[in-house]
Structure 1
Amino acid sequence: MKLGCIGDDFTGSSDLANMLAKEGMRVTQFTGTPSEDASPDVDAGVVALKSRTLPAEDAVRLSLEALEWLKAQGCTQFFFKYCYTFDSTREGNVGPVTDALMEALGADRTIVCPAFPATGRSLYQGHLFVNGVLLSESGMENHPLTPMTDADIRRWMGHQTKHAVGHVAATTVFEGADAIRAAIGEEVAAGRPVIVVDAIRDADLREIGRAVKDMTLITGGSGVSLGIPANLLDKSDRIDVAADWSGLEGPAAIIAGSASKMTRAQVERYAASNPAMEITAEMVMEGETSPEEAARFAFEADGTALLYSSADPGTVKAAQARYGRETVAGRLEDFFAETARQLVAGGVTRLVTAGGETSGAVVEGLDLSALRIGPEIAPGVPAVKAEDRDLVLALKSGNFGDADFFETALRVLGGKP
């Protein structure tokens, strides 16, 4: 294994795995740190953790466990993947995990680059934009678990890390890999070893990838991985990972637990002409519905059913105020994990999930240990297949995809273009 990756949630990890596979690497995504060695033909291993919203000490512990396993697989470079919107509280977890990985690897520098222009995430003058809007005005300021109230990634990372934070501006990035590498060296020499690097074009990400060829640890969104496979593989070693994808036919279902603007738009579009069941926090907390009832609705529906709890931010905040933020999140995740188990036990072979926490809960609930990467459904969202059963999935971060994503995902999972 050449590249060892640690993701702080499942949807982001599948996004990273997809990116590496598109660039020709043989990629396996693991659910948590495996207990056995990976296949020797794997170029990149992605250990998907559900650590984004855990207490920082727990996120660090899980990440270090994953690192030790990846080191044992022979990896020569490591990638810590977090969300393009840098989802984290003021205390972490991005900074504490980055610090711990740097220390464990003896790394004297790393970069911070959550940008991916293809999905509307750009980094300019250290500020993160979502579709041209500052992160702190994009809707992410209303995230129920990790509200992002500051778009300055230099400042936000500065709250979290024990290191001084540097910056490589877009004007330098435009000059290419050599200029980027030199600027990183200058920041390290100035005592700023954690370096935010601007990127407003996908071409910038490829140049950044070239610039960090010899860096032990890289951190960022999956976009910056665009330039990494070329450093590790000869052209003759690259493969077409999606060429043999056939998908699966059979019953399908959709579970949406994200409150993001895009997921709410996707829910509205799909529910307008397809069976849908809303599952509110109050219904779950008061025991007014159950996973069995939700699964029964899906099985009895005339068409592929959508089960969703994607409420607007005001409704989410009201439920959190009444029952407690962590309690609501935990109960909803448990609800959808059990619902997914009921669906798969009843014969569902295609499952679409929306929301990082929801997708992570579903993957854990189904006890999926490894996933094979298939074709891309939307930028940042691949189709994946469980290695140990007849089940294909789309694990979507909240803001990804267009309004028709659910219909598109069902087609791709079924083997149709």
Structure 2
Amino acid sequence: MLLGCIGDDFTGSGDLGNTLAKAGMRAVQYVGVPDGPAAPHVEAGIVALKSRSLPVAEAVAQSRAALDWLRAQGCTQYLFKYCSTFDSTREGNIGPVAEALADALDATRVIVCPAFPATGRSVYLGHLFVQDRLLNESGMQHHPLTPMTDPDIRRWLGHQVRGSVGHVAAAVVGQGAEAVRTALDAEHAKGHRLIVADAITDADLVTLGQGAADLPLITGGSGIAMGLPENFRARGLLSGSAAAWRGQAGPVVALSGSCSAATRDQVARHAARHPAHEIKAGALMAGEIDAEALADWAMAQDGIPLLYSSADPDAVRRAQNRFGTAQIATRIEALFATLARTLVARGVTRLISAGGETSGAVVEGLRLAQLEIGPEIAPGVPMMRAGDALVVALKSGNFGGPEFFTDAARMMEAPQ
């Protein structure tokens, strides 16, 4: 294994696997820290954790355990992957985990770059934009678990870490990899270890990857990995062969727990033409919703049935105020975990999941150990084979086109 990656959620880890596989690395996503060694053909191993919303100490401990396993596989470089909207609270977990990994690897220059231009995320002047909006005006300020109220990544990260935060400006990145390396050295000389790097285009991300060729640790969204495979290829370390992919016939069901604007639009469009059943927080908390009954409903439908708890921000806030944020999240995730397990036991062979927490619950509910990264459905969302007769698509809330559920179902069935 060459590149060892740690993801703070399951959908984001799949997003990273998609980026690496497209660039020619044989990538496998592991669900949690594996018990045994990786297969010898794996070039990029991604340990997917569900640590984004954990208490800081627990997130750090899990990430260190993942690092220890990856180091034992012989990796020469490591990547800490988080969301391209830098999902975190004022306390963490991105900063504390990044510092802990840097401590363990003795990393003195650590790039921080959540940019992902293909989905409209860019970093300029240290500020994170979503399309043409600052992060705190993009809808992310309403996220139920990690509301992002400050677009200045340097300042937000500064709340989370012991040390100070540096910056490499877009004008420097535009001058090439050598200029990036010089700027990183200059920021290190000022006492900065975590260094926010601007990136507006894919070319900027490739340049940052080239500039990071000799760094032990990089952090960012999946886009920061775009330039890394070429570094290994230039050293003659990649096999150059990709694993074959096959489609999967059989029943399909979509699950959605994301409350992002993009997913709510996808849900509304899908519900207009396909069977859709809403899971309401009040009914769930009152014990009126049963996973077996929901599975019965889904299996009786034609087309692509959708079970969803996605709601607008006002409805989410009302439910949180009434029942408690943690209590609702726990109950919804438990329901989706049971649903996924029940649906697959009933013969579902294609399972689509929208939302990071939802997808984490689905993966845990199915007790999956590893996922083979397949072709891309949409930027940041690959198909993944979870067994001989099961293919899954795990989507972050804001990813995918308007007809994502239909597109995913069709592509998961078709041979590539």
Q: What's the TM-score bracket when you normalise by the shorter of the two chains?
A: over 0.9
Give the corresponding residue for 1:407.
Answer: 406
**Structure 2 counterparts to residues 201-212 of structure 1, below 5 A:** 201-212=201-212
Query: What residue number does 1:216 align with?
Result: 216
The equivalent of 1:241 in structure 2 is 242
Contact 1:10 1:48 in 2 (8 A): yes
CA contact (8 A) 1:120 1:130 kept: yes
Matches within 5 A, 1:196-345: 196-234=196-234, 237=238, 239=240, 241=242, 244-345=244-345
Q: What code does the residue aligned with 1:372 have?
A: E
Q: CA deviation at 1:303?
A: 2.0
SS at match of 1:407: helix
**Which residue number in structure 2 is paired with residue 390 of structure 1?**
389
Cα deviation, residue 416, structure 1: 5.1
Partners of 1:238 and 1:53 in 2: how far apart?
37
Partner of 2:106: 106
CA distance in 2, matches of 1:130, 1:295: 36
Name the amino acid aligned to 1:241: A
Matches within 5 A, 1:8-407: 8-234=8-234, 237=238, 239=240, 241=242, 244-386=244-386, 388-407=387-406
The offset of 1:389, in angstroms, is 3.8
CA contact (8 A) 1:29 1:45 kept: yes
Distance 2:19 2:27 in 1: 10
Preserved CA contact (<8 Å) 1:9 1:49: yes
Asked if structure 2 preserves the Cα contact closer than 8 Å seen for 1:245 and 1:415, the reply is: no
Does the 8 Å CA contact 1:354/1:397 hold for their aligned counterparts? yes
1:247 to partner: Cα distance: 1.2
Give the letter for the 1:29 counterpart.
Q
Q: Report SS of the residue matched to 1:363.
A: helix
Residue 237 of structure 1 and its aligned partner are, at CA, apart by 3.3
Letter paired with 2:242 = V
CA deviation vs aligned residue, 1:329-362 (integer Å, no higher than 9, x gap): 0110000000001100000000000000000110
**Structure 2 residues not aligned, in runs of 5+:** none
SS in structure 2 opposite 1:214? coil
Q: Take 1:132 and 1:384, find their aligned partners in 2: how far apart are those partners?
A: 31
Q: Secondary structure at the match of 1:102?
A: helix
**Residues 288-341 of structure 1: CA distance to partner in whole angstroms, max 9, x if unpaired?**
111111111101112221000010011011111111101100110000000001
Q: 1:236 deviation in Å?
A: 8.4
Q: CA deviation at 1:241?
A: 3.1
Asked whether the 8 Å contact 2:206–2:227 carries over to 1, the reply is: yes
> Shift in Å at residue 390 of structure 1?
1.3
Q: Does the 8 Å contact 2:274/2:304 carry over to 1?
A: yes
Query: What secondary structure is seen at the aligned counterpart in 2 of 1:233?
Result: helix
How far does the alpha carbon of each residue in 1:231-251 deviate from its partner, in whole angstroms, 9 at most, with x for none?
112478354636x22210000
Alignment length, in residue pairs?
Answer: 415
Separation in 2, partners of 1:57, 1:208: 30
Change (3 A) 1:390 1:342: same
1:108 CA displacement = 1.4
Q: Which ranges of 4 or more aligned residues in structure 1 deviate by more than 4 Å?
A: none
**Alpha-carbon separation, structure 1, partners of 2:229 and 2:272:** 42
User: CA offsets per residue over residues 130-189 of structure 1, 9 Å max, x none?
Assistant: 011100000000000000000000000000011110000101111111111100100000
Summarize deviations over 1:32-51 as a string: whole Å, max 9, x none: 00000001111010000000
Percent of aligned positions that are identical = 59
The answer on whether the counterparts of 2:17 and 2:28 sit within 8 Å (CA) in structure 1 is yes
Output the CA distance in 2 between the equivalents of 1:260 and 1:334: 20
3-state DSSP of counterpart to 2:316: helix
What is the Cα-based RMSD across aligned positions, in Å?
1.1
Q: 1:338 and 1:237 mapped to 2: Cα distance?
A: 40
Aligned amino acid, residue 69 of structure 2: W
Are 1:241 and 1:374, in contact at CA under 8 Å, matched by a contact in 2? no
| TM-score between both structures, scaled by the size of structure 1 | 0.98
